[in-house]
């Protein structure tokens, strides 16, 4: 494995973990983006500030990191396929009561059995999907 790629992944993982810990410590909230984004629609006005700052931080972090990484120019799928995939992810997030960041980063870190099962399910489904797409279609 490329050492630079490993280092980037390690630093990114540490930053994600630290941000999840800080949000839980100081705000008592789980750093799952689907819950944070969904809460913008139904949250009381006092919750909008931290939710908005979190989302802006993600966008700014992505903008800062973009020049240093390999950004794909073409996802290899049509806009319709991407829209359907996004819709399916949203449905899965609602059914699973959270997203991969909430369950995978925060839930496993808290030893939540529900999150461990959800994350294993996400990963198995992703692996099967990749296998089917690359080897059977």
Distance CA 108, CA 72 (A): 29
38, 42, 44, 49 alpha-carbon torsion, rounded to 10°: 30
Smallest CA-to-CA distance from 33 within 10, 56, 11 is with: 56
Per-residue pLDDT of the chain (137 residues; tens, 9 = 90+): 688 878 888 888 898 888 888 888 988 888 888 888 888 877 677 788 888 888 898 889 888 877 876 666 666 678 888 888 888 888 888 887 888 778 888 888 888 899 899 889 889 988 998 999 899 98
Burial, 108: exposed, middle or buried (Cβ in 10 Å; 0-12, 13-18, 19+)?
middle
Domain residue spans in the chain? Answer: 1-71, 75-137
User: Which parts of 1-137 fold into alpha helices (H)?
Assistant: 3-27, 33-42, 45-65, 79-95, 100, 108-109, 113-131
């Amino acid at each position: 494995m490329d050492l630079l790629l490993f280092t980037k992944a390690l630093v990114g993982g540490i930053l994600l973990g630290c941000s999840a810990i800080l949000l839980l410590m100081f705000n008592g909230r789980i750093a799952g983006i689907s819950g944070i984004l969904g809460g913008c629609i139904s949250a009381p006005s006092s919750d909008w500030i931290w939710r908005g700052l979190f989302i802006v931080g993600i966008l700014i972090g992505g903008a800062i990191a973009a020049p240093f990484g390999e950004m794909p120019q073409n996802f290899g799928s049509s806009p319709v396929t991407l829209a359907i995939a996004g819709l399916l992810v949203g449905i899965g997030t609602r059914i699973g009561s959270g997203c991969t960041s909430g369950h995978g980063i925060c839930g496993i870190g808290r030893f939540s059995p529900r999150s461990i099962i959800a994350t294993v399910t996400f990963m198995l489904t992703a692996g099967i999907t990749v296998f089917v797409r690359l080897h059977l279609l």
